[in-house]
Amino acid sequence: MGPTSDTGPRRLGFRLALGASAALGAGTAGAWSYAQSGAGSGDLARDLAVGWAYAGAGLVAWWRRPGNRTGPLMVAEGVTWFIGNLQGTSVPALFAVGAWWEGLNLAVLVHLVLTFPDGRITGARTRGLIHATYATVAVGGLLRALTYDPARAPDATYLDCRDCGPNALLIDSATGLFEPVDLAYRGLALVISALTVTAVVHRWRRASLARRRALLPVWVAIAVALVFVLWDVVLLAAPGIDGLGEDLVLLLSDLAQCAVPLAFLAGLLRMRLQHAEVGGLVIEVGADPTPARMREVLARVLGDSSLRLGLWQQGHGVPGRYVDEDGGPVRADGARATRVDSARGTPLAVLDHDPALAEDPELLAAVGAALRLGLENAWLRTEAREAGTRLVRAADDERRRLERDLHDGAQARIVFALMALRRVGKGVADHPDAKVRGAVAEVEQSLRLALEELRGLAHGIHPAVLTREGLAPALAELALQAELPVVVAAEPGRYDPVVETTAYFTVCETLANAAKHARARAVSVSARRQGGTLVVETVDDGVGGADTSRGSGLSGLADRIAAVDGVLSVHSPAGGGTRVRAELPCA
């Protein structure tokens, strides 16, 4: 059997617990060592605040985004923050560790800055700079520790180490080399800082708007680190600076460094919100999105105003290609392109975006999935509407065919039979048997009734006047046959047969409801063109209270009208009559 489903969460929980324990242990040891150097409670509080701020923010980032390496790096920064404090002890081995690895937290910070927000090393130059930074701390720090005698250079560290040490790594004969080694070590740190800033500027210039917002915490970290390095330079250039000025600068430095991990955490969580925002993309673009609307929403979510959306277009005998909202071609290859295929693997769309967005493949994958869902939903809705329109059109064609068959078939035969029967009636007019004359008259009456019923049936299936003359005459004839007074105001003109039939039977249904249910005394009917829409309204003075959701004939009308991309609205307050409005596209 494979691992249980909670293996991942358990492993993550173990790692978080290990990271928290390391931060707690390092902070405790660092505070104890710092106190040995004579640090006051305020100094200890500020120092713990900075280190544990990095560790705490890193643990939260690690928990919220376990696949991102930024969280572990922030925890590592919090743990290594306290290593330099070991120089405050009188234990030679601990002092040596603190002197050697005092700059390790700055190396971790460079690593964090150069890989934020993904935590991954990209590019040979970035990898080389990070490796050089760690090598500087490992080799340069060791050389510095081999020559460092705290009794001779008590101001060489941020601690007051006049009584610290001794240094287990010290080579007595090399103490004279400490100043040039220390100067070279700090000078190399300045070079690395300058290279780091240059790399970040290069990333910034290449980045999209969204990526630039994500990189803002990096600038905060750089600013604080530069202030810290420059302060070291000032102390070297003017070692006599002390007192309130030095304390104030150190306080501001610690407070600023506390803000750095919070800025990193805020950046990561903001990116998580950006990922979560993708989930509402399908809803935001609407049920029937246009290419322009989809491109607008995608550009905002990705923070790339230059983004282009290309939809797959393929005609009969024409090679397929991606085109934008204006019909222009969109390339589907290169670092700028992210293809989105359908669930069946066929081409669907392509995003032409800022190449820097490729640094966040999770975001692009989420956007691609949301775009696929939105486009396929729109395609399915379009197919459903077209299928509904085809069904309505087929039903109307069948209505007209039945009306023609009845008119040209059964009605014609009955009329012919009536004409023949009239000739028979004339022949038996003088017949002495009254029963024969009565039987002929009775059959003629029955044929007349059958003919009227058949004509009424044919009219109900599809009125011939609607086919011959159009909607306005058909509504006028319908008003004459209604059970209550009806006033018709219909503009002349012809429309698509499906539109005319839908409008006609909408009025039929509303007149029937007005007579049977609304107890109306009069009804007015209007039909007019408004731009590319045929608007048909029926207003009665009945009791109101009509509701399309109660399964009445109005709900069927709503479905029929929706099948031809129309809209039905009903306003029917209790006691206030009913207004039924149908809007049918007729362009």
Domain boundary among 224, 247, 276: 276
How does residue 16 score in pLDDT terms, banded at 50, 70 and 90? very high
Domain boundary among 359, 383, 407: 383
Averaged pLDDT score across all residues of the chain: 78
Residues 97, 124 share a domain: yes
Residues 300, 203 share a domain: no
Residues 136, 35 share a domain: yes
Rounded to whole angstroms, how far apart are CA atoms 578 and 156? 91
Q: Is residue 389 part of a domain?
A: no
Rounded to whole angstroms, how far apart are CA atoms 54 and 76? 8
How does residue 545 score in pLDDT terms, banded at 50, 70 and 90? confident
CATH code of the domain covering residue 180: 1.20.1070
Q: Is residue 490 part of a domain?
A: yes
Given a cut of 50, is residue 224 above it in pLDDT?
A: yes
Residues 268, 313 share a domain: no
Given a cut of 50, is residue 395 above it in pLDDT?
A: yes
User: 469-497, pLDDT tens digit by residue?
Assistant: 889 998 998 888 888 999 999 998 899 88
Which pLDDT score is estimated for 3? 43
Q: Is residue 456 part of a domain?
A: no
Under a CB-based contact definition with an 8 Å cutoff, are residues 586 and 565 in contact? Answer: no
Residues 117, 38 share a domain: yes
Q: Is residue 412 part of a domain?
A: no
- Tokens representing 218 are 């990096």
Q: What percent of the chain has pLDDT over 70?
A: 67
CATH code of the domain covering residue 547: 3.30.565.10
Rounded to whole angstroms, how far apart are CA atoms 233 and 253? 15
Under a CB-based contact definition with an 8 Å cutoff, are residues 184 and 83 in contact? Answer: no
Residues 144, 222 share a domain: yes
Q: Is residue 458 part of a domain?
A: no
Which pLDDT score is estimated for 75? 94
DSSP 3-state percent helix, strand, coil across the chain (nearest 5): 65, 10, 25
How does residue 305 score in pLDDT terms, banded at 50, 70 and 90? confident
Mean pLDDT of 495-501: 86
Query: Strand 523-530 and strand 486-490: pairing?
Result: parallel
Residues 300, 258 share a domain: no
Q: Which residues contact 334 (CB under 8 A, 6 or more apart)?
A: none
Using CB atoms within 10 A of its CB, is residue 303 exposed (0-12), middle (13-18) or buried (19+)? Answer: buried
How many domains does the chain divide into? 3
CA angle 522, 525, 569 (to 5 degrees): 105
Given a cut of 50, is residue 546 above it in pLDDT?
A: yes
User: 134-184, pLDDT tens digit by residue?
Assistant: 999 999 999 999 999 888 877 777 776 667 778 899 898 888 899 999 999
Residues 193, 319 share a domain: no
Q: Is residue 197 part of a domain?
A: yes
Cis upstream peptide for 485 (omega within 30°): no
Q: Helix and strand tally (H, E) in the chain?
A: 20, 9
Residues 332, 244 share a domain: no
Under a CB-based contact definition with an 8 Å cutoff, are residues 510 and 580 in contact? Answer: yes
Q: Is residue 2 part of a domain?
A: no
Under a CB-based contact definition with an 8 Å cutoff, are residues 583 and 566 in contact? Answer: yes
Residues 332, 220 share a domain: no
What residue numbers bound the domain in which 331 lies? 288-383
Q: Is residue 225 part of a domain?
A: yes
In this structure, is the dihedral angle defined by the CA atoms of residues 270, 113, 225 and 63, taken in order, positive or negative? Answer: positive
Nearest to 54 by CA among 68, 70, 42, 31: 70
Residues 165, 232 share a domain: yes
Domain boundary among 383, 416, 451: 383
Which pLDDT score is estimated for 273? 47
Residues 183, 67 share a domain: yes
Which residue pairs, CB below 8 angstroms and at least 24 apart, start in 511-514?
511/478, 511/482, 511/484, 511/486, 511/538, 512/553, 513/546, 513/552, 513/553, 513/554, 513/578, 514/484, 514/538, 514/540, 514/542, 514/578
